[in-house]
Structure 1
Protein backbone atom coordinates (compact mmCIF):
# COMPACT_ATOMS: atom_id res chain seq x y z
CA UNK A 1 0.00 0.00 0.00
CA UNK A 2 1.29 3.45 -0.87
CA UNK A 3 0.90 6.21 1.73
CA UNK A 4 -1.91 8.58 0.86
CA UNK A 5 -3.89 5.93 -1.06
CA UNK A 6 -6.07 4.74 1.81
CA UNK A 7 -8.19 6.34 4.51
CA UNK A 8 -8.72 5.48 8.16
CA UNK A 9 -12.08 3.98 7.17
CA UNK A 10 -10.42 1.71 4.62
CA UNK A 11 -7.82 0.63 7.18
CA UNK A 12 -10.62 -0.31 9.59
CA UNK A 13 -12.47 -2.16 6.80
CA UNK A 14 -9.37 -4.17 5.94
CA UNK A 15 -8.86 -5.12 9.57
CA UNK A 16 -12.53 -6.10 9.91
CA UNK A 17 -12.30 -8.22 6.75
CA UNK A 18 -9.53 -10.32 8.32
CA UNK A 19 -6.46 -8.80 6.68
CA UNK A 20 -3.56 -9.68 8.95
CA UNK A 21 -0.89 -7.30 7.67
CA UNK A 22 -0.48 -4.24 5.47
CA UNK A 23 2.80 -3.46 3.75
CA UNK A 24 3.46 0.27 3.44
CA UNK A 25 5.79 1.50 0.69
CA UNK A 26 7.51 4.23 2.69
CA UNK A 27 10.90 3.94 0.85
CA UNK A 28 12.36 6.86 2.82
CA UNK A 29 11.48 9.42 5.48
CA UNK A 30 13.50 12.09 3.64
CA UNK A 31 11.33 14.32 1.46
CA UNK A 32 14.22 15.15 -0.87
CA UNK A 33 14.91 11.47 -1.52
CA UNK A 34 11.21 10.76 -2.04
CA UNK A 35 11.02 13.54 -4.61
CA UNK A 36 14.13 12.22 -6.37
CA UNK A 37 12.56 8.76 -6.44
CA UNK A 38 9.41 10.26 -7.99
CA UNK A 39 7.27 9.15 -5.05
CA UNK A 40 3.99 11.06 -4.70
CA UNK A 41 3.93 11.04 -0.89
CA UNK A 42 5.88 12.94 1.75
CA UNK A 43 7.50 11.65 4.93
CA UNK A 44 4.69 13.15 7.01
CA UNK A 45 2.10 11.34 4.88
CA UNK A 46 3.96 8.08 5.36
CA UNK A 47 3.91 8.49 9.12
CA UNK A 48 0.21 9.40 9.03
CA UNK A 49 -0.54 6.29 6.97
CA UNK A 50 1.17 4.06 9.51
CA UNK A 51 -0.70 5.76 12.33
CA UNK A 52 -4.01 5.04 10.56
CA UNK A 53 -3.14 1.36 10.38
CA UNK A 54 -2.11 1.29 14.03
CA UNK A 55 -5.37 2.97 15.07
CA UNK A 56 -7.29 0.35 13.10
CA UNK A 57 -5.42 -2.44 14.87
CA UNK A 58 -3.90 -3.66 11.61
CA UNK A 59 -0.28 -4.90 11.88
CA UNK A 60 2.04 -3.41 9.31
CA UNK A 61 5.32 -3.87 7.52
CA UNK A 62 7.42 -1.03 6.15
CA UNK A 63 9.41 -0.97 2.89
CA UNK A 64 12.60 1.11 2.74
CA UNK A 65 15.20 1.59 0.01
CA UNK A 66 18.93 2.14 0.36
CA UNK A 67 21.48 3.19 -2.23
CA UNK A 68 19.24 5.98 -3.54
CA UNK A 69 20.80 8.93 -5.42
CA UNK A 70 22.06 11.45 -2.89
CA UNK A 71 21.57 9.10 0.07
CA UNK A 72 24.40 8.67 2.56
CA UNK A 73 25.00 6.42 5.55
CA UNK A 74 23.86 9.07 8.02
CA UNK A 75 20.62 9.66 6.15
CA UNK A 76 19.99 5.93 6.00
CA UNK A 77 20.52 5.77 9.74
CA UNK A 78 17.86 8.43 10.19
CA UNK A 79 15.45 6.38 8.07
CA UNK A 80 16.08 3.29 10.20
CA UNK A 81 15.57 5.27 13.38
CA UNK A 82 12.27 6.64 12.09
CA UNK A 83 11.12 3.13 11.13
CA UNK A 84 11.92 1.68 14.55
CA UNK A 85 10.04 4.54 16.27
CA UNK A 86 6.93 3.52 14.34
CA UNK A 87 7.13 0.03 15.82
CA UNK A 88 6.77 -2.06 12.65
CA UNK A 89 6.73 -5.84 13.19
CA UNK A 90 8.38 -6.41 9.82
CA UNK A 91 10.66 -4.34 7.59
CA UNK A 92 11.90 -4.85 4.05
CA UNK A 93 14.96 -2.93 2.91
CA UNK A 94 15.95 -3.18 -0.73
CA UNK A 95 19.11 -1.83 -2.34
CA UNK A 96 18.49 0.15 -5.51
CA UNK A 97 19.01 -1.82 -8.71
CA UNK A 98 19.49 0.01 -12.00
CA UNK A 99 17.70 -1.41 -15.03
CA UNK A 100 18.61 -0.03 -18.46
CA UNK A 101 15.06 0.59 -19.67
CA UNK A 102 14.00 2.64 -16.64
CA UNK A 103 14.39 6.39 -16.11
CA UNK A 104 17.04 5.87 -13.45
CA UNK A 105 18.83 3.30 -15.57
CA UNK A 106 19.19 5.94 -18.28
CA UNK A 107 20.17 8.68 -15.83
CA UNK A 108 22.65 7.06 -13.44
CA UNK A 109 25.63 4.73 -13.65
CA UNK A 110 26.49 2.24 -10.92
CA UNK A 111 29.23 3.51 -8.61
CA UNK A 112 29.12 7.05 -10.02
CA UNK A 113 27.91 9.99 -7.90
CA UNK A 114 25.29 10.84 -6.78
CA UNK A 115 24.72 7.11 -6.25
CA UNK A 116 26.37 5.82 -3.07
CA UNK A 117 29.32 3.55 -3.70
CA UNK A 118 29.26 -0.19 -3.07
CA UNK A 119 31.05 0.16 0.27
CA UNK A 120 28.42 2.64 1.46
CA UNK A 121 25.56 0.34 0.48
CA UNK A 122 27.23 -2.60 2.25
CA UNK A 123 27.54 -0.41 5.33
CA UNK A 124 23.86 0.50 5.07
CA UNK A 125 22.81 -3.15 5.06
CA UNK A 126 25.04 -3.87 8.06
CA UNK A 127 23.59 -0.85 9.87
CA UNK A 128 20.07 -2.11 9.18
CA UNK A 129 20.83 -5.43 10.84
CA UNK A 130 22.39 -3.76 13.88
CA UNK A 131 19.77 -1.05 14.36
CA UNK A 132 16.78 -3.29 13.76
CA UNK A 133 18.16 -5.91 16.15
CA UNK A 134 17.86 -3.37 18.96
CA UNK A 135 14.16 -3.10 18.09
CA UNK A 136 13.73 -6.89 18.21
CA UNK A 137 13.75 -7.51 14.45
CA UNK A 138 16.10 -10.22 13.16
CA UNK A 139 17.35 -10.58 9.61
CA UNK A 140 15.75 -13.76 8.30
CA UNK A 141 16.06 -13.07 4.55
CA UNK A 142 18.52 -11.13 2.42
CA UNK A 143 16.28 -8.03 2.37
CA UNK A 144 13.85 -8.69 5.23
CA UNK A 145 13.79 -8.31 9.01
CA UNK A 146 11.02 -9.30 11.44
CA UNK A 147 10.19 -9.86 15.07
CA UNK A 148 10.11 -13.62 15.78
CA UNK A 149 6.91 -15.11 14.38
CA UNK A 150 6.21 -12.19 12.05
CA UNK A 151 8.20 -13.41 9.04
CA UNK A 152 6.41 -13.06 5.71
CA UNK A 153 4.22 -16.09 5.07
CA UNK A 154 3.17 -15.02 1.58
CA UNK A 155 6.68 -14.36 0.28
CA UNK A 156 7.89 -17.54 1.96
CA UNK A 157 6.03 -19.49 -0.72
CA UNK A 158 8.14 -17.81 -3.41
CA UNK A 159 11.41 -18.24 -1.51
CA UNK A 160 10.73 -21.97 -1.10
CA UNK A 161 9.68 -22.24 -4.77
CA UNK A 162 6.30 -23.72 -3.84
CA UNK A 163 3.14 -23.64 -6.02
CA UNK A 164 0.73 -20.71 -5.80
CA UNK A 165 -2.31 -19.27 -7.52
CA UNK A 166 -2.55 -15.57 -8.33
CA UNK A 167 -5.23 -13.34 -9.84
CA UNK A 168 -5.23 -9.83 -11.26
CA UNK A 169 -3.52 -7.77 -13.93
CA UNK A 170 -0.02 -9.04 -14.67
CA UNK A 171 -0.24 -11.76 -11.99
CA UNK A 172 1.65 -15.03 -12.44
CA UNK A 173 0.61 -18.40 -11.03
CA UNK A 174 2.97 -21.31 -10.53
CA UNK A 175 1.13 -24.64 -10.59
CA UNK A 176 2.31 -28.12 -11.59
CA UNK A 177 5.70 -26.67 -12.62
CA UNK A 178 4.05 -24.25 -15.06
CA UNK A 179 3.91 -20.46 -14.75
CA UNK A 180 0.81 -18.69 -16.11
CA UNK A 181 1.07 -14.94 -16.60
CA UNK A 182 -2.00 -12.72 -16.96
CA UNK A 183 -2.13 -9.73 -19.36
CA UNK A 184 -0.50 -6.54 -18.11
CA UNK A 185 -3.37 -4.19 -19.07
CA UNK A 186 -6.87 -4.01 -17.61
CA UNK A 187 -8.54 -4.33 -21.02
CA UNK A 188 -6.41 -7.35 -21.85
CA UNK A 189 -7.17 -8.88 -18.47
CA UNK A 190 -10.94 -8.56 -19.01
CA UNK A 191 -10.57 -10.33 -22.36
CA UNK A 192 -8.46 -13.02 -20.68
CA UNK A 193 -11.08 -13.62 -17.97
CA UNK A 194 -13.83 -14.00 -20.57
CA UNK A 195 -11.70 -16.55 -22.45
CA UNK A 196 -11.08 -18.54 -19.27
CA UNK A 197 -14.79 -18.47 -18.44
CA UNK A 198 -15.70 -19.68 -21.91
CA UNK A 199 -12.97 -22.22 -22.62
CA UNK A 200 -11.37 -23.08 -19.29
CA UNK A 201 -7.95 -22.39 -17.83
CA UNK A 202 -6.23 -25.32 -19.50
CA UNK A 203 -7.45 -24.31 -22.95
CA UNK A 204 -6.08 -20.79 -22.49
CA UNK A 205 -2.72 -21.89 -21.02
CA UNK A 206 -2.33 -25.23 -22.76
CA UNK A 207 0.78 -24.07 -24.61
CA UNK A 208 2.68 -23.27 -21.40
CA UNK A 209 5.37 -25.91 -20.97
CA UNK A 210 6.42 -27.22 -17.55
CA UNK A 211 9.78 -25.98 -16.29
CA UNK A 212 12.67 -28.39 -16.77
CA UNK A 213 14.39 -30.31 -13.98
CA UNK A 214 17.35 -27.94 -14.21
CA UNK A 215 15.09 -24.88 -13.94
CA UNK A 216 13.22 -26.32 -10.96
CA UNK A 217 16.41 -27.12 -9.09
CA UNK A 218 17.98 -23.76 -9.95
CA UNK A 219 14.91 -21.79 -8.83
CA UNK A 220 14.75 -23.75 -5.59
CA UNK A 221 18.40 -23.04 -4.77
CA UNK A 222 18.40 -19.47 -6.06
CA UNK A 223 15.35 -18.40 -4.05
CA UNK A 224 15.86 -20.59 -1.01
CA UNK A 225 19.37 -19.34 -0.36
CA UNK A 226 17.85 -15.92 0.32
CA UNK A 227 16.44 -17.34 3.57
CA UNK A 228 19.29 -16.57 5.95
CA UNK A 229 17.59 -18.01 9.03
CA UNK A 230 16.61 -21.41 7.60
CA UNK A 231 18.36 -21.66 4.24
CA UNK A 232 17.43 -24.70 2.18
CA UNK A 233 17.22 -27.78 4.40
CA UNK A 234 18.99 -30.61 2.62
CA UNK A 235 16.25 -32.94 3.83
CA UNK A 236 13.72 -30.86 1.88
CA UNK A 237 15.99 -30.80 -1.18
CA UNK A 238 16.29 -34.59 -0.99
CA UNK A 239 12.54 -35.02 -0.54
CA UNK A 240 11.77 -32.89 -3.58
CA UNK A 241 14.57 -33.82 -5.97
CA UNK A 242 16.03 -36.99 -4.50
CA UNK A 243 19.05 -37.70 -2.30
CA UNK A 244 21.47 -37.44 -5.28
CA UNK A 245 20.53 -33.76 -5.66
CA UNK A 246 21.26 -33.09 -2.00
CA UNK A 247 24.57 -34.96 -2.31
CA UNK A 248 25.46 -32.93 -5.43
CA UNK A 249 24.79 -29.73 -3.45
CA UNK A 250 27.11 -30.89 -0.67
CA UNK A 251 29.77 -31.79 -3.23
CA UNK A 252 29.47 -28.36 -4.87
CA UNK A 253 29.73 -26.44 -1.61
CA UNK A 254 32.79 -28.53 -0.68
CA UNK A 255 34.41 -28.20 -4.10
CA UNK A 256 33.85 -24.45 -4.24
CA UNK A 257 35.18 -23.98 -0.71
CA UNK A 258 32.19 -21.88 0.37
CA UNK A 259 32.40 -22.96 4.02
CA UNK A 260 36.14 -22.30 4.24
CA UNK A 261 35.61 -18.89 2.62
CA UNK A 262 33.08 -18.00 5.31
CA UNK A 263 30.24 -17.68 2.81
CA UNK A 264 28.19 -20.73 3.83
CA UNK A 265 27.47 -22.42 7.16
CA UNK A 266 28.97 -25.91 7.73
CA UNK A 267 26.99 -28.95 6.60
CA UNK A 268 28.82 -31.78 8.32
CA UNK A 269 28.75 -32.98 11.92
CA UNK A 270 31.94 -32.57 13.96
CA UNK A 271 34.53 -35.24 13.25
CA UNK A 272 34.07 -38.49 15.12
CA UNK A 273 36.06 -38.63 18.32
CA UNK A 274 37.34 -42.17 17.93
CA UNK A 275 39.54 -43.45 15.08
CA UNK A 276 37.92 -45.76 12.59
CA UNK A 277 34.41 -44.51 13.28
CA UNK A 278 32.46 -44.32 10.02
CA UNK A 279 30.28 -41.25 9.55
CA UNK A 280 26.78 -42.34 8.58
CA UNK A 281 24.42 -40.41 6.30
CA UNK A 282 21.49 -38.64 8.03
CA UNK A 283 18.21 -40.59 8.34
CA UNK A 284 16.59 -38.87 5.34
CA UNK A 285 19.52 -39.65 3.03
CA UNK A 286 19.12 -43.42 2.86
CA UNK A 287 22.50 -44.99 2.20
CA UNK A 288 23.76 -42.26 -0.15
CA UNK A 289 27.54 -42.16 0.46
CA UNK A 290 27.75 -38.58 -0.79
CA UNK A 291 25.84 -37.50 2.32
CA UNK A 292 27.97 -39.37 4.86
CA UNK A 293 28.68 -37.21 7.88
CA UNK A 294 26.17 -34.52 6.88
CA UNK A 295 24.18 -33.22 9.84
CA UNK A 296 20.53 -34.26 9.98
CA UNK A 297 19.46 -30.60 10.12
CA UNK A 298 22.02 -29.36 7.57
CA UNK A 299 20.91 -26.61 5.22
CA UNK A 300 22.40 -24.58 2.39
CA UNK A 301 22.55 -21.40 4.43
CA UNK A 302 24.57 -18.32 3.64
CA UNK A 303 26.48 -16.40 6.28
CA UNK A 304 26.15 -12.59 6.49
CA UNK A 305 29.29 -12.38 4.34
CA UNK A 306 27.72 -14.78 1.84
CA UNK A 307 24.56 -12.70 1.76
CA UNK A 308 26.57 -9.73 0.50
CA UNK A 309 27.50 -11.65 -2.65
CA UNK A 310 24.32 -13.72 -2.83
CA UNK A 311 23.64 -13.13 -6.51
CA UNK A 312 27.08 -14.17 -7.71
CA UNK A 313 27.59 -17.02 -5.24
CA UNK A 314 24.19 -18.56 -5.80
CA UNK A 315 23.12 -17.40 -9.24
CA UNK A 316 26.36 -17.61 -11.21
CA UNK A 317 28.16 -20.37 -9.33
CA UNK A 318 26.29 -22.67 -7.00
CA UNK A 319 23.15 -23.37 -9.08
CA UNK A 320 25.08 -24.26 -12.22
CA UNK A 321 27.66 -26.26 -10.32
CA UNK A 322 25.06 -28.36 -8.50
CA UNK A 323 23.22 -29.22 -11.72
CA UNK A 324 26.44 -30.01 -13.57
CA UNK A 325 27.63 -32.21 -10.72
CA UNK A 326 24.32 -34.04 -10.64
CA UNK A 327 24.48 -34.70 -14.37
CA UNK A 328 28.02 -36.03 -13.97
CA UNK A 329 26.87 -38.43 -11.27
CA UNK A 330 28.52 -36.54 -8.44
CA UNK A 331 25.39 -37.01 -6.35
CA UNK A 332 26.46 -40.64 -5.85
CA UNK A 333 23.31 -42.13 -7.26
CA UNK A 334 22.72 -40.81 -10.78
CA UNK A 335 21.33 -37.67 -12.31
CA UNK A 336 17.59 -38.25 -12.11
CA UNK A 337 15.63 -35.48 -10.43
CA UNK A 338 12.27 -36.37 -8.91
CA UNK A 339 10.51 -33.05 -8.40
Structure 2
Protein backbone atom coordinates (compact mmCIF):
# COMPACT_ATOMS: atom_id res chain seq x y z
CA UNK A 1 0.00 0.00 0.00
CA UNK A 2 2.91 2.33 0.75
CA UNK A 3 4.35 1.60 -2.69
CA UNK A 4 1.01 2.38 -4.33
CA UNK A 5 0.76 5.64 -2.40
CA UNK A 6 4.30 6.61 -3.43
CA UNK A 7 3.71 5.87 -7.10
CA UNK A 8 0.36 7.69 -7.18
CA UNK A 9 1.67 10.64 -5.14
CA UNK A 10 -0.99 10.33 -2.46
CA UNK A 11 -1.22 9.32 1.19
CA UNK A 12 -1.71 5.78 2.43
CA UNK A 13 -5.09 6.84 3.75
CA UNK A 14 -6.17 7.85 0.25
CA UNK A 15 -5.13 4.44 -1.08
CA UNK A 16 -7.17 2.82 1.71
CA UNK A 17 -10.20 4.90 0.75
CA UNK A 18 -9.90 3.82 -2.88
CA UNK A 19 -9.54 0.16 -1.88
CA UNK A 20 -12.64 0.43 0.31
CA UNK A 21 -14.57 2.31 -2.39
CA UNK A 22 -15.05 5.40 -0.26
CA UNK A 23 -16.91 8.30 -1.95
CA UNK A 24 -14.42 10.73 -0.35
CA UNK A 25 -11.96 10.48 -3.27
CA UNK A 26 -12.23 12.66 -6.35
CA UNK A 27 -12.39 10.79 -9.69
CA UNK A 28 -8.98 11.94 -10.98
CA UNK A 29 -7.21 10.81 -7.80
CA UNK A 30 -9.10 7.50 -7.80
CA UNK A 31 -8.02 6.86 -11.39
CA UNK A 32 -4.39 7.63 -10.54
CA UNK A 33 -4.43 5.27 -7.55
CA UNK A 34 -6.13 2.49 -9.51
CA UNK A 35 -3.52 2.88 -12.26
CA UNK A 36 -0.71 2.55 -9.70
CA UNK A 37 -2.40 -0.53 -8.22
CA UNK A 38 -2.59 -2.11 -11.66
CA UNK A 39 1.05 -1.33 -12.48
CA UNK A 40 2.27 -2.79 -9.19
CA UNK A 41 -0.09 -5.78 -9.16
CA UNK A 42 -1.52 -4.69 -5.81
CA UNK A 43 -4.45 -6.66 -4.38
CA UNK A 44 -6.04 -6.29 -0.94
CA UNK A 45 -5.19 -9.26 1.31
CA UNK A 46 -8.50 -10.71 2.53
CA UNK A 47 -7.06 -12.44 5.61
CA UNK A 48 -5.14 -9.33 6.68
CA UNK A 49 -8.20 -7.19 6.18
CA UNK A 50 -10.23 -9.60 8.32
CA UNK A 51 -7.70 -9.30 11.15
CA UNK A 52 -7.81 -5.52 10.97
CA UNK A 53 -11.56 -5.02 10.57
CA UNK A 54 -12.94 -8.09 12.34
CA UNK A 55 -14.91 -8.99 9.20
CA UNK A 56 -14.21 -11.73 6.69
CA UNK A 57 -16.01 -10.01 3.78
CA UNK A 58 -17.84 -13.29 3.27
CA UNK A 59 -21.55 -14.03 3.55
CA UNK A 60 -23.28 -17.40 3.69
CA UNK A 61 -26.21 -18.70 1.69
CA UNK A 62 -28.28 -21.48 3.31
CA UNK A 63 -30.42 -23.70 1.05
CA UNK A 64 -32.11 -27.06 1.41
CA UNK A 65 -31.80 -27.89 -2.30
CA UNK A 66 -30.52 -26.51 -5.58
CA UNK A 67 -32.74 -28.81 -7.63
CA UNK A 68 -35.47 -26.19 -8.03
CA UNK A 69 -35.21 -23.51 -10.70
CA UNK A 70 -35.90 -20.70 -8.22
CA UNK A 71 -33.12 -21.74 -5.84
CA UNK A 72 -30.51 -22.18 -8.55
CA UNK A 73 -31.37 -18.79 -10.05
CA UNK A 74 -31.22 -17.18 -6.61
CA UNK A 75 -27.78 -18.71 -6.03
CA UNK A 76 -26.47 -17.13 -9.23
CA UNK A 77 -28.09 -13.76 -8.53
CA UNK A 78 -26.92 -13.69 -4.89
CA UNK A 79 -23.33 -14.51 -5.85
CA UNK A 80 -23.35 -11.63 -8.33
CA UNK A 81 -24.94 -9.19 -5.87
CA UNK A 82 -22.43 -10.11 -3.13
CA UNK A 83 -19.49 -9.71 -5.49
CA UNK A 84 -20.66 -6.25 -6.51
CA UNK A 85 -20.50 -5.25 -2.83
CA UNK A 86 -17.06 -6.77 -2.33
CA UNK A 87 -18.20 -9.91 -0.51
CA UNK A 88 -17.44 -13.55 -1.24
CA UNK A 89 -20.22 -16.14 -0.97
CA UNK A 90 -20.16 -19.44 0.93
CA UNK A 91 -22.90 -21.97 0.15
CA UNK A 92 -24.13 -24.51 2.71
CA UNK A 93 -26.93 -27.02 2.29
CA UNK A 94 -29.15 -27.42 5.31
CA UNK A 95 -30.96 -30.67 4.64
CA UNK A 96 -33.32 -30.91 7.61
CA UNK A 97 -30.95 -29.07 9.97
CA UNK A 98 -30.62 -25.32 9.67
CA UNK A 99 -28.84 -25.35 13.04
CA UNK A 100 -26.09 -27.51 11.55
CA UNK A 101 -25.78 -25.12 8.60
CA UNK A 102 -25.40 -22.19 11.00
CA UNK A 103 -22.66 -24.05 12.88
CA UNK A 104 -20.71 -24.62 9.66
CA UNK A 105 -21.04 -20.96 8.74
CA UNK A 106 -19.84 -19.92 12.20
CA UNK A 107 -16.78 -22.14 11.78
CA UNK A 108 -16.01 -20.33 8.53
CA UNK A 109 -16.46 -16.96 10.29
CA UNK A 110 -18.88 -15.48 7.78
CA UNK A 111 -20.12 -11.97 8.51
CA UNK A 112 -23.80 -12.83 7.96
CA UNK A 113 -26.10 -15.17 6.08
CA UNK A 114 -29.08 -15.29 3.75
CA UNK A 115 -31.49 -18.17 4.29
CA UNK A 116 -33.31 -19.17 1.12
CA UNK A 117 -36.87 -20.31 0.50
CA UNK A 118 -37.55 -23.78 1.97
CA UNK A 119 -34.78 -23.37 4.56
CA UNK A 120 -36.37 -20.11 5.75
CA UNK A 121 -39.35 -21.97 7.20
CA UNK A 122 -36.99 -23.89 9.50
CA UNK A 123 -35.31 -20.82 11.03
CA UNK A 124 -37.94 -20.17 13.71
CA UNK A 125 -37.52 -23.71 15.05
CA UNK A 126 -33.82 -23.32 15.96
CA UNK A 127 -31.77 -21.03 18.14
CA UNK A 128 -30.35 -18.28 15.99
CA UNK A 129 -26.58 -17.88 16.27
CA UNK A 130 -25.62 -14.90 18.43
CA UNK A 131 -23.96 -12.12 16.52
CA UNK A 132 -24.73 -13.53 13.07
CA UNK A 133 -26.88 -11.13 11.01
CA UNK A 134 -29.55 -12.96 9.02
CA UNK A 135 -31.86 -12.14 6.14
CA UNK A 136 -34.47 -14.67 5.09
CA UNK A 137 -36.06 -15.03 1.66
CA UNK A 138 -39.66 -16.26 1.56
CA UNK A 139 -40.21 -16.81 5.26
CA UNK A 140 -43.57 -17.06 7.05
CA UNK A 141 -43.56 -14.96 10.21
CA UNK A 142 -39.81 -14.64 10.75
CA UNK A 143 -40.12 -12.34 13.75
CA UNK A 144 -37.17 -10.06 14.38
CA UNK A 145 -35.46 -10.82 11.08
CA UNK A 146 -35.23 -8.94 7.81
CA UNK A 147 -37.43 -10.66 5.23
CA UNK A 148 -37.39 -10.37 1.44
CA UNK A 149 -39.90 -12.02 -0.86
CA UNK A 150 -41.63 -11.63 -4.19
CA UNK A 151 -45.22 -10.42 -4.29
CA UNK A 152 -46.57 -13.96 -4.59
CA UNK A 153 -50.11 -13.01 -3.62
CA UNK A 154 -50.23 -10.08 -6.01
CA UNK A 155 -48.75 -12.08 -8.88
CA UNK A 156 -51.25 -14.91 -8.39
CA UNK A 157 -54.10 -12.40 -8.22
CA UNK A 158 -53.00 -10.83 -11.51
CA UNK A 159 -52.73 -14.26 -13.15
CA UNK A 160 -56.20 -15.27 -11.99
CA UNK A 161 -57.77 -11.94 -12.94
CA UNK A 162 -56.12 -12.15 -16.37
CA UNK A 163 -57.79 -15.51 -17.03
CA UNK A 164 -61.17 -14.31 -15.76
CA UNK A 165 -60.81 -11.23 -17.94
CA UNK A 166 -60.44 -13.47 -20.97
CA UNK A 167 -63.94 -14.83 -20.28
CA UNK A 168 -63.23 -18.02 -18.36
CA UNK A 169 -65.95 -18.83 -15.84
CA UNK A 170 -63.48 -20.10 -13.27
CA UNK A 171 -59.76 -20.81 -12.89
CA UNK A 172 -58.32 -24.09 -11.63
CA UNK A 173 -55.08 -24.12 -9.66
CA UNK A 174 -52.12 -26.49 -9.86
CA UNK A 175 -50.49 -25.63 -6.54
CA UNK A 176 -47.02 -26.18 -5.09
CA UNK A 177 -46.18 -28.15 -1.92
CA UNK A 178 -48.37 -27.35 1.06
CA UNK A 179 -45.33 -26.68 3.27
CA UNK A 180 -43.99 -23.96 0.95
CA UNK A 181 -44.50 -20.30 1.83
CA UNK A 182 -44.41 -19.25 -1.83
CA UNK A 183 -46.90 -21.94 -2.80
CA UNK A 184 -49.33 -21.04 -0.02
CA UNK A 185 -49.14 -17.33 -0.87
CA UNK A 186 -49.79 -18.01 -4.56
CA UNK A 187 -52.72 -20.22 -3.65
CA UNK A 188 -54.05 -17.45 -1.41
CA UNK A 189 -53.85 -14.88 -4.21
CA UNK A 190 -55.72 -17.23 -6.57
CA UNK A 191 -58.39 -18.10 -3.99
CA UNK A 192 -59.01 -14.51 -2.83
CA UNK A 193 -59.37 -13.29 -6.42
CA UNK A 194 -62.01 -15.92 -7.23
CA UNK A 195 -63.94 -15.24 -4.02
CA UNK A 196 -63.88 -11.49 -4.70
CA UNK A 197 -65.40 -12.23 -8.13
CA UNK A 198 -68.17 -14.29 -6.51
CA UNK A 199 -66.75 -17.61 -7.74
CA UNK A 200 -66.36 -20.65 -5.50
CA UNK A 201 -62.75 -21.88 -5.90
CA UNK A 202 -62.56 -25.38 -7.41
CA UNK A 203 -60.56 -28.10 -5.62
CA UNK A 204 -56.80 -27.54 -5.67
CA UNK A 205 -54.58 -30.02 -7.50
CA UNK A 206 -51.22 -30.18 -5.71
CA UNK A 207 -47.75 -30.85 -7.11
CA UNK A 208 -44.12 -30.64 -6.01
CA UNK A 209 -42.80 -27.94 -8.40
CA UNK A 210 -41.55 -30.50 -10.95
CA UNK A 211 -42.58 -30.96 -14.58
CA UNK A 212 -43.36 -34.58 -13.70
CA UNK A 213 -45.94 -33.39 -11.16
CA UNK A 214 -47.50 -31.14 -13.79
CA UNK A 215 -47.74 -34.05 -16.19
CA UNK A 216 -49.31 -36.24 -13.51
CA UNK A 217 -51.94 -33.55 -12.85
CA UNK A 218 -53.15 -33.64 -16.45
CA UNK A 219 -55.92 -36.17 -15.88
CA UNK A 220 -57.37 -34.20 -12.94
CA UNK A 221 -57.35 -31.00 -14.99
CA UNK A 222 -58.40 -32.39 -18.38
CA UNK A 223 -61.85 -30.73 -18.25
CA UNK A 224 -60.61 -27.31 -17.06
CA UNK A 225 -60.84 -24.33 -19.39
CA UNK A 226 -58.24 -22.28 -17.50
CA UNK A 227 -55.40 -23.34 -15.18
CA UNK A 228 -53.06 -21.19 -13.09
CA UNK A 229 -49.91 -23.20 -12.30
CA UNK A 230 -47.82 -22.25 -9.28
CA UNK A 231 -44.62 -22.43 -11.34
CA UNK A 232 -43.48 -22.79 -14.94
CA UNK A 233 -42.01 -26.29 -14.53
CA UNK A 234 -45.37 -27.74 -13.55
CA UNK A 235 -46.98 -25.80 -16.40
CA UNK A 236 -44.53 -27.46 -18.80
CA UNK A 237 -45.58 -30.94 -17.67
CA UNK A 238 -49.25 -29.96 -17.83
CA UNK A 239 -48.86 -28.73 -21.43
CA UNK A 240 -47.53 -32.15 -22.44
CA UNK A 241 -50.30 -33.99 -20.58
CA UNK A 242 -53.05 -31.87 -22.14
CA UNK A 243 -51.61 -32.42 -25.61
CA UNK A 244 -51.64 -36.20 -25.09
CA UNK A 245 -55.25 -35.97 -23.88
CA UNK A 246 -56.24 -34.17 -27.08
CA UNK A 247 -56.73 -30.79 -25.41
CA UNK A 248 -55.28 -27.89 -27.35
CA UNK A 249 -53.66 -24.92 -25.59
CA UNK A 250 -54.99 -22.24 -25.81
CA UNK A 251 -57.91 -23.26 -28.08
CA UNK A 252 -59.45 -25.58 -25.45
CA UNK A 253 -57.69 -24.52 -22.26
CA UNK A 254 -55.63 -21.50 -21.17
CA UNK A 255 -52.54 -22.17 -19.06
CA UNK A 256 -50.52 -19.62 -17.11
CA UNK A 257 -47.39 -20.21 -15.01
CA UNK A 258 -45.27 -18.39 -12.42
CA UNK A 259 -41.53 -17.49 -12.47
CA UNK A 260 -40.83 -16.78 -16.16
CA UNK A 261 -37.94 -19.22 -16.44
CA UNK A 262 -35.55 -18.50 -19.35
CA UNK A 263 -37.14 -21.28 -21.46
CA UNK A 264 -40.75 -20.19 -20.92
CA UNK A 265 -40.84 -18.23 -24.17
CA UNK A 266 -39.87 -21.43 -26.02
CA UNK A 267 -42.51 -23.72 -24.55
CA UNK A 268 -45.12 -24.94 -27.03
CA UNK A 269 -47.03 -22.71 -27.02
CA UNK A 270 -44.93 -19.90 -25.47
CA UNK A 271 -46.07 -19.64 -21.86
CA UNK A 272 -48.00 -16.76 -20.36
CA UNK A 273 -46.52 -16.40 -16.87
CA UNK A 274 -45.82 -14.18 -13.88
CA UNK A 275 -42.23 -13.01 -13.83
CA UNK A 276 -40.23 -13.08 -10.60
CA UNK A 277 -37.27 -10.69 -10.57
CA UNK A 278 -34.60 -12.92 -9.02
CA UNK A 279 -31.91 -10.30 -9.57
CA UNK A 280 -33.89 -7.72 -7.61
CA UNK A 281 -34.64 -10.26 -4.86
CA UNK A 282 -30.95 -11.07 -4.46
CA UNK A 283 -29.87 -7.42 -4.48
CA UNK A 284 -32.45 -6.48 -1.84
CA UNK A 285 -31.46 -9.42 0.36
CA UNK A 286 -27.72 -8.74 0.05
CA UNK A 287 -28.29 -5.01 0.54
CA UNK A 288 -30.20 -5.53 3.79
CA UNK A 289 -27.60 -8.00 5.05
CA UNK A 290 -24.58 -5.83 4.24
CA UNK A 291 -26.27 -2.82 5.83
CA UNK A 292 -26.65 -4.78 9.08
CA UNK A 293 -23.10 -6.16 8.90
CA UNK A 294 -21.60 -2.73 8.36
CA UNK A 295 -23.75 -1.04 10.98
CA UNK A 296 -25.80 1.10 8.64
CA UNK A 297 -29.25 -0.52 8.47
CA UNK A 298 -31.87 1.43 6.58
CA UNK A 299 -35.38 2.24 7.70
CA UNK A 300 -36.90 -0.86 6.09
CA UNK A 301 -36.51 -4.22 7.78
CA UNK A 302 -38.08 -6.12 4.91
CA UNK A 303 -38.82 -5.81 1.21
CA UNK A 304 -41.47 -7.08 -1.18
CA UNK A 305 -40.34 -7.28 -4.80
CA UNK A 306 -43.07 -6.72 -7.44
CA UNK A 307 -43.97 -9.36 -10.02
CA UNK A 308 -45.05 -8.81 -13.63
CA UNK A 309 -47.48 -10.52 -16.01
CA UNK A 310 -45.81 -11.70 -19.24
CA UNK A 311 -48.59 -12.28 -21.79
CA UNK A 312 -47.72 -14.93 -24.38
CA UNK A 313 -49.58 -17.50 -26.46
CA UNK A 314 -50.78 -20.06 -23.90
CA UNK A 315 -53.84 -18.02 -22.87
CA UNK A 316 -56.76 -16.62 -24.80
TM-score, structure 2 normalization: 0.30
Rg bigger for which structure? Answer: 2
RCO (CA 8 Å, sep 6+): is it higher in 1 or 2? 2
TM-score of the superposed pair, with normalisation by structure 1? 0.29
Greater share of strand: 2
